[in-house]
Amino acid sequence: MTTGEKIELNNTNICLNALSENAILITWPERVCPRQHRQITDLEHALIQHLSVNRSHPIIIDTVSAYNSLMIYYDFFQISAQQMLQRCQQQLHELQANSTESTEHHAKNHSALIEIPVYYGEQAGIDLLDCASKLNIEPEKIISQHTQQTFRAYALGFTPGFCYLGQLPSSLQLTRRATPRAKMPVGAVAIAEQQTAVYPSNSPGGWHIIGRTPVAMYQIKQSDDSSVERQFKPLISLGDQVKFNAIDKATYLELGGHFD
């Protein structure tokens, strides 16, 4: 197989490219699709599992998956680009042949339901009224639809703990703010286009804030052994299901929430 070759699986075109001597990029069509994303994460888990027999010298160094792509960084001293491309292609065909089993395995072992409490009051949802006006619906309708939906965790970025969740119903979809904020508050629950997310820290952002959660999006765990580096543990992992639950102001404050 040559670099840049396209293969078709389940009527889906997938492109495999060797970007460098130690990086492979696999891309799917640009769309928000749970089934496609399961294929991406299934491939990621399968490659890590099958190429990590020797844990002291793993072949795969790191992976980065998103809505329609999977980047694989590997040890080129142990496997060539051509061999890695062939292995990826082989694994994709195996997943297709066992698609039902793979999907059930993924659901049982690689996903969880994460419930996040959110205070949607005006003091927290500082863009809620503006969103309601632009969407031509009542603020309560935004809250109702946002809490009734179960979202899938599609990608991690642009700051530690930030997870892109989809897919918003069309009735809640808005373009990003014309002027981004220089500082989004910690715990801001926001929407933009087809996505929703929680801002884990104070950072710039152009999404519309409809509420805030008192729950931290990640933890830093220090090992008992001082020589071991601290471990970063995000609340949400790729493939998880996320549901937002409305709470009142008193509960928000009791759970450690605050206002800047």
What is d(CA 97, CA 82) in angstroms, rounded to the nearest whole number?
A: 23
Supply the pLDDT for residue 121. Answer: 95
Nearest by Cα to 4 from 12, 18, 13? 18
Q: Which two tokens stand for residue 129?
A: 């009224």
Q: Which domain holds residue 53?
A: 6-109
User: 220 forms bridges with which residues in the sheet?
Assistant: 232
Shared domain for 128 and 233, answered yes or no, is yes
Q: Which amino acid is at 108?
A: K
pTM assigned to the model: 0.82
Half-sphere exposure of 225 (CA within 13 A, CB side): 4
What is d(CA 26, CA 180) in angstroms, rounded to the nearest whole number?
A: 31
Shared domain for 121 and 237, answered yes or no, is yes
Shared domain for 135 and 43, answered yes or no, is no
Nearest by Cα to 165 from 128, 200, 120? 200
**At 114, which helix (H) or strand (E)?**
strand 113-119
What is d(CA 119, CA 160) in angstroms, rounded to the nearest whole number?
A: 23
Residue 67 falls within a domain, yes or no? yes
What is d(CA 166, CA 152) in angstroms, rounded to the nearest whole number?
A: 5
Query: Do 207 and 126 touch, CB atoms closer than 8 A?
Result: no
Shared domain for 39 and 157, answered yes or no, is no
Q: Quote the number of domains for the chain.
A: 2
What is d(CA 41, CA 106) in angstroms, rounded to the nearest whole number?
A: 8
Shared domain for 245 and 117, answered yes or no, is yes
Supply the pLDDT for residue 232. Answer: 77
Q: Which two tokens stand for residue 229?
A: 């580096």
CATH code: domain of residue 102: 3.30.1360.40
Residue 116's φ and ψ, nearest 5 degrees, are -120, 120
Supply the pLDDT for residue 102. Answer: 46
Distance of CA 12 to the CA centre of its chain: 21
Shared domain for 77 and 154, answered yes or no, is no
Residue 74 falls within a domain, yes or no? yes
Supply the pLDDT for residue 107. Answer: 47
Residue 1 falls within a domain, yes or no? no
How is 126-173 classified by DSSP, letter by letter? TTHHHHHHHHTS-HHHHHHHHHH-EEEEEEE-SSTT-EEEE---GGG-
Supply the pLDDT for residue 108. Answer: 44
What is d(CA 107, CA 239) in angstroms, rounded to the nearest whole number?
A: 9
Which of 78, 109, 140 finishes a domain? 109
List average pLDDT for each run of 10 residues in the chain, which is 260 residues long: 63 89 94 90 91 79 93 94 93 80 48 94 96 97 97 91 94 96 96 97 96 94 61 88 97 94
Q: Which two tokens stand for residue 57?
A: 């010298």
Shared domain for 101 and 139, answered yes or no, is no
What is d(CA 151, CA 250) in angstroms, rounded to the nearest whole number?
A: 26
Shared domain for 215 and 166, answered yes or no, is yes
How is 44-74 classified by DSSP, letter by letter? HHHHHHHT-SSTTS-SEEEEEE-SSEEEEEE
